[in-house]
Structure 1
């Protein structure tokens, strides 16, 4: 490497260390503009460069002090340049990753581990580059540093895969095989054996305690019922009003469509199961046999579990696992249907990479393929001949493909085909009327979003009484869903002087109506949100979403808080409680608001709490400020003993040792049965110039007599304070 270029590259490396350290220390205050978000999203594209380069560099570094290499000038210079390039690429990757992490949906412990191991790789490789030519840098240190870097690379890659593919990505084939092990129908629980496996395979990679996309967890019943950032996920008994089904039915190109485009999509059978389960009031304990024999949920769930019941009936041999591994690609997965079963399920992804060759290449396992998923692939009529080679095929997903009745005639040779999904195709009543008589073994066919009307579906059901024909939701305005509420697009609802209000909705063409006077907005008289409103004081915004053909959304209420001053330093005078430490004294001025549910560890990290002592701290301002009010944002959850402060005292002055009482104020106590809520209170006083401010918030000393914990001390939780 040319000397002048190396000097320049080394200067860039030094600057990168400083810049990345700055980003890590102040990332919570970062607001990433759209053009930098685009840069951040290139993180997955270039991360392979530093991985490959640093792995090679560390391998060479490990053997650097061998006698035949130590004196080789080419080896020395090549390794030095390789390490420098690897460190620079690592810097770019880390910066992009930090930008990407500020986008919505990247949260949780896995992100933290991935971020810090990735940054650690960069810092370690930079350190090795700077010290590797010093006198004290010997073989033991070189080998240790190389080993640590490689371990960090592996850990970072693992956490990155967990973020993008889910925590069980590596073991998913084994886990799915285990999940699909035979479950006797008389023992099957609807949620445990039908609904939960759907969530586990299609949803929990993004919605788990380590990756809280949309602040939603789908790994346990309590979290499912709680919902996420956009509100309740389920309305038991009413699938049309349930956010879960609304998101599933959004067009794939919509940002809020779930699962996201590029992820494995729900099949129509799975969507039907979710909708019917919600309609049955989303019971988490009901067994399949508790449902009536003719109940739709029982019939479809039994069919869903059927492959596990029939595994002993297959009369073909199993394929060698090595042959299956060779046939698996980035866009084609092949998995056994059940443990120790010879039957295989094939899933093909990524429409832009699809060709019929992906089917033809499977001729060696044509007898063993029982399930084939071609959902949203550009399958044409001529491709159906390749599908027909799978002579034992029982389940075929052709949703949203380009097949017509002409091509589907080839399926008549499949003597075992039981489940066929044709939703989103251009088939009409006459097409189905001509096709179905030729599919003798067919038991279920799905025809959502086709040219068939509701009357056509009913006519087919009458004609083919032994065939389960699944119709479904079609966004034609005839069966409207309720819109989910508007959302805040501002990165924080706390601001210093002014803030342009920014509301959003995931569905295109939606009108957002809002008010600032505390009244509930309507679809006619309330102002239409047009991104012209600028907030200059603490304010409550109420908003609703409206669109022709949909029911208006429920009311969304957003609290915006003005906080003109941030202290230069904050020191606690008394300890916080063990569970609710948050970020210590910094918690009160980090512009992060907590959510209800602070006794759940997944939500506790924004709340500072006290119970056995006062919440007290002193803050300092290097330049005196003119202060006239102090506000607190706190939680009330009377059922769990979380109460407002009994008294708040505000002290201020120019000298930390000589402060005077500026004001004291109390909060209104809840009454029995009050719902959990977030509230704020404010104490005002004559404007005072202060350099030091002491705030003392006293928890309620005795819980009221009507409470089951009467007489005990209450827990006080505060997430933010506002100085104006």
Structure 2
């Protein structure tokens, strides 16, 4: 009698949960959950694996002709129903459900209801029939498809797709800044968490209209004001700040990508602005050109192979060599001033000259010999020779470096003669030349000729004088 009574309570529980699940799925649009009930839905990701394992074990036993223990089937069915209902509660936190979430909920609910039907057939003594076998096969399929949709909801539509070589989106020659550049960045780094299927913070980032609408934290985008735009301000927060975007575990935006978004917002966040409409002096021109160029890793693929043992033999306490990325043959070299300086360790780097893409010789008493070595680093992209005794004669040796993108040559004795070298450096994007003997008139003329080049020539004299005066007042006090 007691056993029969226990079975009835299980029957009532499974029937009640099944009816409640069907009600939730059918009347989804009309249901509003109390806060506590909605909170229960957040347990869904924690409990969903439990019924999957139990159901698969039970199906395996059933399909192999073995008896499925009653307790196993009861616990599997009840946990499947509870998981499906908690998933429905969690889904209610998304006001507008995308197709992925819609199908994930219905497939998950269907799986739980098929499991309930299996329980009914088992109670009728029909465990070994063809009907039960069909249900078990259907359940295996539902587990796979429901999990597939769940993975895409959580991690993006391509998360469980078959592995393929990801084709980078090509930016056209004259791109629309929003459609071809900004959306490329957002799609790559932001949309996986801010789409119709996973609307984190009630924010959609799939189109400009939704960006302007913002989310639960306020205005995400304020055209013309990047400082007040949360899209920008959150990117600049410390990575340990819980408000920092993207969150921990997600790929961060590069400095170039952040600056592109900043300039686009500062220029009004237009969705019609084209690249050729930008003035040549606009910093966004250089930033977009950088994005249009091939990825650094692809540029470095053809560099000669260099062994770790070679790098270890060339390195010392005052000369460090690092790979630009794991297993990359592109190298970054930093040389520090030892108690007794000698050029030999630098000259010895000639055997890996073709691999050096970044080189820092700042603050060293370098001369013609070292600069002859530098001229042989044909793949050099970043060079720091600031605070050194180099002159126009040494700088002229840089004419062979066709890939040089950044040059720091401030606090040196170079004059107007070096400007000719800088003009001919077609790849040069950033130049640092304050506290040199370059005249102001030559500098102004140079700036006008190379509007796309970012020239850092120190603090404006008036501003510098203001800070000096402020410091003097502070000291006198």
Q: CA deviation at 1:148?
A: 2.5
Q: How many residues align?
A: 356
2:434 counterpart residue number = 462
Unaligned runs of 5+ in 2: 309-319, 338-348, 365-381, 387-400, 408-429, 437-442, 444-452, 457-477
2:44 equivalent to 1:31: no
Q: CA deviation at 1:273?
A: 1.3
CA distance in 1, matches of 2:176, 2:60: 52
Unaligned runs of 5+ in 1: 70-74, 318-362, 365-382, 396-404, 407-411, 421-429, 446-457, 470-724
Deviations 1:583-639 (A, max 9, x none): xxxxxxxxxxxxxxxxxxxxxxxxxxxxxxxxxxxxxxxxxxxxxxxxxxxxxxxxx
Q: 1:121 to 1:268 in 2, by over 3 A?
A: same
5 Å-filtered alignment, 1:169-318, equals 169-171=159-161, 174=164, 177-181=166-170, 183=171, 186-252=173-239, 256-307=243-294, 314-315=301-302
Q: CA deviation at 1:274?
A: 0.8
Deviations 1:398-433 (A, max 9, x none): xxxxxxx99xxxxx989667699xxxxxxxxx9997
Q: CA deviation at 1:198?
A: 1.1
2:90 equivalent to 1:91: no
2:154 counterpart residue number = 164
CA distance in 2, matches of 1:104, 1:255: 21
Deviations 1:150-188 (A, max 9, x none): 2322232122122211233334975x832345x45x344
More helix by share: 2
1:392 counterpart residue number = 329
Preserved contact between residue 121 and residue 132 of structure 2 (Cα < 8 Å): no
2:115 counterpart residue number = 125
5 Å-filtered alignment, 1:595-606, equals none
1:402 counterpart residue number = none
CA distance in 2, matches of 1:308, 1:204: 21
CA distance in 1, matches of 2:5, 2:255: 58
2:384 equivalent to 1:437: yes
Deviations 1:79-98 (A, max 9, x none): x4443332233234234434
CA distance in 2, matches of 1:384, 1:15: 68
More strand by share: 1
Deviations 1:517-555 (A, max 9, x none): xxxxxxxxxxxxxxxxxxxxxxxxxxxxxxxxxxxxxxx
2:142 counterpart residue number = 152
Preserved contact between residue 251 and residue 257 of structure 1 (Cα < 8 Å): yes
2:41 equivalent to 1:46: no
Q: 1:170 to 1:295 in 2, by over 3 A?
A: farther
Deviations 1:671-722 (A, max 9, x none): xxxxxxxxxxxxxxxxxxxxxxxxxxxxxxxxxxxxxxxxxxxxxxxxxxxx
Q: CA deviation at 1:123?
A: 1.7
* Range with greater deviation from structure 2 (131-140 or 242-251): 131-140
Q: 1:132 to 1:384 in 2, by over 3 A?
A: farther
TM-score by length of 1: 0.41
Q: CA deviation at 1:76?
A: 1.0
Q: Secondary structure at the match of 2:76?
A: helix
Q: 1:219 to 1:125 in 2, by over 3 A?
A: same
Q: 1:105 to 1:437 in 2, by over 3 A?
A: farther
Preserved contact between residue 392 and residue 415 of structure 1 (Cα < 8 Å): no
CA distance in 2, matches of 1:44, 1:272: 36
Cα RMSD after superposing both structures: 4.9
1:697 counterpart residue number = none
Q: CA deviation at 1:127?
A: 1.5
CA distance in 2, matches of 1:202, 1:173: 19
Deviations 1:344-368 (A, max 9, x none): xxxxxxxxxxxxxxxxxxx99xxxx
5 Å-filtered alignment, 1:320-335, equals none
Q: 1:192 to 1:237 in 2, by over 3 A?
A: same
5 Å-filtered alignment, 1:483-632, equals none
2:422 counterpart residue number = none
Q: 1:459 to 1:442 in 2, by over 3 A?
A: closer
TM-score by length of 2: 0.58
Q: 1:115 to 1:168 in 2, by over 3 A?
A: same
CA distance in 2, matches of 1:44, 1:126: 21
2:341 counterpart residue number = none
Q: CA deviation at 1:215?
A: 4.1
CA distance in 2, matches of 1:171, 1:307: 26
Q: CA deviation at 1:106?
A: 7.8
Q: CA deviation at 1:251?
A: 4.7
CA distance in 1, matches of 2:433, 2:78: 65
